[in-house]
Amino acid sequence: MILEEIPSPPLGEFGRIARFFKPLAAGFPGARGLRDDAAVFGVPEGRELVVTTDAMVAGVHFFPDDSPADIAAKLMRSNLSDLAAMGAEPLAYTLVTALPRGLDESWLEGFAAGLGEDQRQFGIALAGGDSVSTTGPITLSVTAFGLVPSGRALPRWGGRPGDRVFVTGTIGDAALGLEIAYGRLDIPDGETRAHLLRRLRRPDPRTTVGPRLIGLASGAMDVSDGLVADLGHLCEESGCAALLRAGTVPLSDSARGAIDGDPVRLALAITGGDDYELLFTAPPSARDALAALAADSGVAITEIGELNPGPPGEVTVLDAAGATLPLARRGWDHF
């Protein structure tokens, strides 16, 4: 038997923590080297801590055979998107992994590498976590901590009738990507397909735009369940209704090509979710400042509708011709 074929003994729970997670906590003193029972860190004067949690389950949020680095990126970025929606800057995160006993250590190696890459890209560090085994599918959860100027966190409930509705980036890429991944949508063009799948697996959280919406946006949230559903959530909290002009919703060239004028696919794009873009409201007087922010940040900001004094939570969706766009559902609902 040659040396390479001798299987190395399993690392075990604590060996895995030492090998894969301690390096991710090295730059954050509050993590105490992952050697203590908990993390300890302070908040600078004049700032508040923003805390958000999101979980992901194999078969529900991602495909079991997705690359572990992509799974890590989606887990991290969905939480970073929530921080951005609050106007907060990333600080640290904790991580819970529930993994099947037989899962190869190389999976964890790819997962940790993905986390490390995003830590560097977004300026966030591992503060602690928990590692457990599961008899079910891979289940992961991140709790992210961010900082916001005291009293300035962006609320979902600040929208007022007359405010305009804005969204960052493009909408629908991930929903179309999911259809491709499930084999329900055939897109022959390789570049188009790759872009939509990339946006499904690696969303682009708007971490630089979020904090700069403080003082401009009246209400804000991020789009995870679907644009129409999430606008409904914002409206419900703001006690008003909204008009959404589907023809003005920003689409990537890839999404535009995939939709190809089909109203069913357009409906999918605005209800499918997994966008991780920012959805916010602002008075028309903020338009110039928002255009300047978009130019400066390199992230598109597009006006897509307005709030009105209708029934709280009601969202009317018009197509480009001004007719009501029929929707089978407004967005994702777990139950």
Ligand X SMILES: Nc1ncnc2c1ncn2[C@@H]1O[C@H](COP(=O)(O)OP(=O)(O)OP(=O)(O)O)[C@@H](O)[C@H]1O
Interface residues toward ligand TPS, by CB under 6 A:
54, 60-63, 178, 224-225, 273-274, 332
The tokens 């409904």 sit on which residue?
Answer: 232
When CB distances are held under 5 to 8 angstroms depending on the partner's kind, the choice from ligand X, Mg ion, ligand TPS, none that residue 320 binds is none
Q: How far apart are CA 85 and CA 70, in angstroms?
A: 22
Rounded to the nearest whole angstrom, what is the least distance from the CB of residue 317 to ligand TPS in the complex? 18
Pairing of strands 125-133, 164-168: unpaired
Give the CA radius of gyration of the chain: 21
Task: List the end-to-end C-alpha distance of the chain, in Å, as a whole number.
Answer: 53
When CB distances are held under 5 to 8 angstroms depending on the partner's kind, the choice from ligand X, Mg ion, ligand TPS, none that residue 93 binds is none
> In the structure encoding, which two tokens stand for residue 51, read together?
């805390």
Residue placing its CB nearer to ligand TPS in the complex, 224 or 302: 224
Burial 200-230 (b: 16+ CB within 10 A, else e): bbbbbbbbebbbbbbebbbbbbbbbbbbbbb
- Decide: 52 and 79 in contact? Cβ < 8 Å: yes
Query: Residue with the closest Cβ to ligand X?
Result: 224
Residue placing its CB nearer to Mg ion in the complex, 98 or 258: 98
Rounded to the nearest whole angstrom, what is the least distance from the CB of residue 262 to ligand X in the complex? 26
Any known ligand binding at 195?
Answer: no
Q: How far apart are CA 307 and CA 46, in angstroms?
A: 33
When CB distances are held under 5 to 8 angstroms depending on the partner's kind, the choice from Mg ion, ligand X, ligand TPS, none that residue 89 binds is none
Q: Under the criterion CB under 6 A, does residue 54 sit at the interface with ligand X?
A: yes
Q: Under the criterion CB under 6 A, does residue 224 sit at the interface with ligand X?
A: yes
Rounded to the nearest whole angstrom, what is the least distance from the CB of residue 138 to ligand TPS in the complex? 12
Rounded to the nearest whole angstrom, what is the least distance from the CB of residue 83 to ligand X in the complex? 10
Residue placing its CB nearer to ligand X in the complex, 193 or 330: 330
Q: How far apart are CA 75 and CA 77, in angstroms?
A: 6
Rounded to the nearest whole angstrom, what is the least distance from the CB of residue 211 to ligand X in the complex? 17
Residue placing its CB nearer to ligand TPS in the complex, 157 or 332: 332
- Of positions 225, 274, 277, 306, contacts ligand X by CB under 6 A: 225
Q: Under the criterion CB under 6 A, does residue 204 sit at the interface with ligand X?
A: no
3-state secondary structure of 48: strand
Q: How far apart are CA 293 and CA 162, in angstroms?
A: 21
Which of positions 203-232 make contact with Mg ion (CB under 5 A)?
A: 222, 224-225
- Decide: 245 and 305 in contact? Cβ < 8 Å: yes
Residue 95's DSSP bridge partners are: 129, 142
Residue placing its CB nearer to ligand TPS in the complex, 211 or 226: 226
Where on the chain is the footprint of ligand X (CB under 6 A)? 54, 78, 82, 224-225
Instruction: List binding-site positions for substrate.
Output: 61, 274, 332
